[in-house]
Amino acid sequence: MKRWSFSNVMLWVGLAFIYLPMVILVIYSFNDSRLVTVWGGWSVRWYASLLDNTQLMGAVMRSLEIAFYTAIAAVALGTLAAFVLTRIPRFRGRTLFGGMVTAPLVMPEVITGLSLLLLFVAMAQLIGWPAERGMTTIWIAHTTFSSAYVAVVVMSRLRELDLSIEEAAMDLGAKPWKVFFLITMPMIAPSLVAGGMLAFALSLDDLVLASFVSGPGATTLPMEIFSAVRLGVKPDINAIASLILLVISLFTFLAWYFTRQAEERRRRSIQQMLDETRPQRDPRPQTA
């Protein structure tokens, strides 16, 4: 294969296109000058000034809290949905269910946001709940759309799994829930972690849904950033944006690293098992 083929050049150009703006943003967050476009030497003053900005810090804490609960709920819900779609091939409404799991991936956020808000208003009129919109309603909105992403991640893992292990456990008399928690769960654990981190990041990032379903006093970090940057680039926003970039890259890297480690351990142990059992067994072809 030629090293400088057209597609290889495109790959590097594309990666540069994706990463350069973020690198520039991080560099400029250390700019001492109050004018964001003039370089005035290195400084961390904008990071220090973040700590004094209580409004922004409050929004950060609120966003982190919502993201944390979203990650937990989305993993539970998304895993259930993925399990249903991969392990139960026929039930009434399966097509509808499959559609409802994948549609949030592409649904424009303004539509989802508006429709959820109208639902909450209608519910408040009808049953008196939610009496006030705020963190709970944002959490529901985030859980709904990020569980779709979790479902996709977990589904791809569940499909790869060798069903014979689960079947063997059930042949030996284990109850389905026990099989799920003792056999299936440990095998899909890396993708649960990855899915949870993805849900966390999605929730931390969302502006549109939160703007629609939030109420007075529940301003999340993206909403705070958005109202600030509407009018232009600001040095302290550069700093908080760089911090978010840092946190997310760290999370992504960890998720990637753990998935890879687990993958490698699994491959090695399967290989080991095969090596040990092969001589005694009849030479039946192994299914991967």
Among residue numbers 243 through 282, which ones bind another protein (CB under 8 A)? 244-245, 248-249, 251-253, 256, 260
Q: How far is the CB of 246 from another protein (least distance, A)?
A: 10
User: Which 98-137 positions form the footprint of another protein (CB under 8 A)?
Assistant: 98-112, 114-116, 118-119, 121-122, 125
59 part of the interface to another protein, by CB under 8 A: no
Spatial distance between the Cα atoms of 225 and 168, rounded to a whole number of angstroms: 53
Stretch that binds another protein, among 41-49, 52-60, 93-101, 265-273 (CB under 8 A): 93-101
Helix or strand or coil: residue 31? Answer: strand
Residues 6+ apart with CB under 8 A from 72: 196
Using rule CB under 8 A, residue 81 touches another protein: yes
CA atoms within a 13 Å half-sphere pointing along the CA-CB vector of 97: 16
Count of residues that interact with another protein, criterion CB under 8 A: 99
4 binds another protein (CB under 8 A): no
Output b/e per residue, 41-65; b: 16+ Cβ within 10 A.
eeeeebbeebeeeeebeebbebbee
Query: Which one, 229 or 278, has the nearer CB to another protein?
Result: 229
When binding is defined by CB under 8 A, the residue of 61, 72, 176, 265 that contacts another protein is 176
Burial 87-114 (b: 16+ CB within 10 A, else e): eeeeeeeeeeeeeebeebeeeebeebbe
Instruction: Tell me the closest approach of the beta carbon of residue 46 to another protein, in angstroms.
Output: 14
Q: How far is the CB of 22 from another protein (least distance, A)?
A: 6
Determine if 91 is a binding residue for another protein (CB under 8 A): yes
Cα 194 to Cα 49, 136, 197, 251, 254, distances in angstroms: 33, 24, 5, 9, 9
x-or-dash string of contact with another protein, 185-224, rule CB under 8 A:
------------xx--xx-xx-xx--xx---------x--
d(CA 87, CA 154): 12
User: Nearer to another protein by C-beta: 260 or 278?
Assistant: 260
Alpha helices in 30-108 (DSSP H): 45-52, 54-87, 94-106
Residue 44 as a binder of another protein (CB under 8 A): the answer is no
CB-CB contact of 144 with 70 (8 Å)? no
**Which of residues 176 and 278 has its CB atom nearest to another protein in the complex?**
176
